[in-house]
């Protein structure tokens, strides 16, 4: 892998609410230094916020210390534009190129799922493996793909976004009851996306569809672990809906490991159940667990950015 492990790198993790800012002096380690509100509507205010963070923490570091950024949204490798629905101020800007000029240092950028995948492939559960999929099971579904240590940046920046394809089935047989599931209109504009059923909000939608009950995903998962019958059906449906597209992704990519981040990754029994279900559906037979919780479920953005900033 082409990695410059010695360089000090400033790191930023940009979400719709906050910018987390840190410094990495060694590969895999980030000291978080500050957390400020994200200026979402104004590009100039966003640049000023980064300038202030760098000025506050530059101290003894060289003036050209690189900045690596993990961001919400998709990063187009063609235009450099970051398309983040919750940060409209980014629209129309070639972010890495403009920031490199404005901040007078090398600035590299990747989306947060891609940064999580980089973190896991370099210093986490996929360390040293040739093909690693970083899978996000959070409020929705996302992912990134790392091949021989390098982030796969495909057309439009959508590589790894396996959640925005149609679900493989709309009929489920659960405990001898045939369930019809609607193909729902997704936030991306398409109809039928797995994203609508695949994450924590998806578990809640499924529960509503199957049992006409509103419940929080944490509560449903807890009831599933307690063998409550309705929650058991909901999670059975969720495992079926998620495992088939995931097996397809695995057949196409051939990962050595699929490392999970996002809120659902911390529910170990759920990831274990998903792993077992998926391994019955993949073409290759994986004798060991393939889908595992990540090491950087909570701070993959900053750690991944630190890895990104060292890639050559």
- Catalog residues that contact Zn ion under the rule CB under 5 A: 164, 186, 188, 190, 193, 195
68 touches 309 (CB < 8 A): yes
The least CB distance from residue 166 to Zn ion, in Å, is 9
The least CB distance from residue 184 to Zn ion, in Å, is 9
The least CB distance from residue 199 to Zn ion, in Å, is 12
The least CB distance from residue 172 to Zn ion, in Å, is 20
Note every long-range contact of 203-206, with CB atoms under 8 Å and residues 24 or more positions apart, other chains counting.
Answer: 203/234, 203/235, 203/238, 206/181, 206/234, 206/237, 206/238, 206/241
Q: Please report, for residues 120, 129, 279, 290, the alpha-carbon distance to residue 264 in angstroms, rounded to integers and kept in the order given.
A: 16, 24, 19, 16
CA–CA separation, 72 vs 9, rounded Å?
20
The least CB distance from residue 186 to Zn ion, in Å, is 3
Query: Which CB atom, from 186 or from 232, has the smaller least distance to Zn ion?
Result: 186
The least CB distance from residue 161 to Zn ion, in Å, is 8
Query: Which CB atom, from 73 or from 149, has the smaller least distance to Zn ion?
Result: 73
Query: Which CB atom, from 190 or from 211, has the smaller least distance to Zn ion?
Result: 190
Tokens encoding 205: 């939608």
Q: Provide the b/e sequence for 96-126 (b: ≥16 CB within 10 Å).
A: beebbeebebbbbbbbbbbbbbbbbbbbbbb
Query: Which CB atom, from 186 or from 240, has the smaller least distance to Zn ion?
Result: 186
Query: Which CB atom, from 8 or from 209, has the smaller least distance to Zn ion?
Result: 209
Query: Which CB atom, from 104 or from 185, has the smaller least distance to Zn ion?
Result: 185
The C-alpha angle 282, 205, 176, rounded to 5 degrees, equals 65
Helix, strand, coil % over all residues of the chain, rounded to 5: 35, 25, 40
Scan for tokens 């400033």, then name that residue: 10
Query: Which CB atom, from 47 or from 188, has the smaller least distance to Zn ion?
Result: 188
The least CB distance from residue 188 to Zn ion, in Å, is 3
Q: Provide the b/e sequence for 170-187 (b: ≥16 CB within 10 Å).
A: eebeeeeeeeebeeeebe
């Amino acid at each position: 892998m082409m990695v410059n492990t010695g360089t000090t790198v400033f790191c930023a993790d940009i979400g719709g609410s906050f910018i987390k800012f840190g410094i990495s002096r060694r590969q895999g380690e980030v000291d978080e230094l500050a957390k400020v509100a994200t200026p979402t509507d104004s590009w100039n205010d966003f640049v000023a916020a980064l300038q202030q963070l760098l000025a506050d923490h530059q101290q003894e570091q060289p003036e050209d210390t690189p900045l690596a950024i993990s961001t919400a949204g998709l990063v187009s490798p063609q235009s450099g534009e970051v398309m983040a629905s919750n940060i409209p101020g980014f629209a129309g800007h070639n972010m890495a190129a403009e920031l490199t000029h404005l901040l007078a240092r090398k600035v590299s950028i990747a989306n947060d799922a891609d940064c999580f995948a980089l973190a896991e492939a370099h210093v986490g559960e996929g360390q040293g493996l040739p093909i690693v999929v970083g899978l996000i099971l959070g409020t929705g579904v996302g992912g990134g793909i790392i091949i021989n240590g390098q982030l796969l940046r495909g057309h439009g920046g959508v590589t790894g976004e396996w959640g925005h394809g149609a679900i493989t089935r709309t009929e489920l047989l659960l405990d001898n009851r045939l369930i019809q599931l609607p193909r729902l209109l997704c936030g991306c504009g398409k109809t039928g996306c797995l994203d609508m059923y695949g994450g924590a909000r998806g578990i809640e939608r499924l529960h509503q569809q199957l049992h006409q009950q509103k419940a929080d995903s944490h509560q449903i998962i807890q009831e599933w672990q307690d063998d409550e019958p309705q929650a058991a059906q909901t999670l059975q449906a969720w495992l079926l809906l998620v495992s088939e597209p995931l097996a397809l992704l695995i057949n196409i990519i051939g990962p050595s490991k699929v490392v999970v981040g996002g809120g659902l990754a911390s529910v170990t029994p759920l990831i274990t159940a998903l792993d077992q279900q998926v391994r019955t559906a993949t073409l290759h037979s994986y004798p060991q667990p393939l889908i595992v919780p990540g090491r950087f479920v909570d701070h993959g953005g900053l750690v991944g950015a630190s890895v990104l900033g060292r890639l050559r």
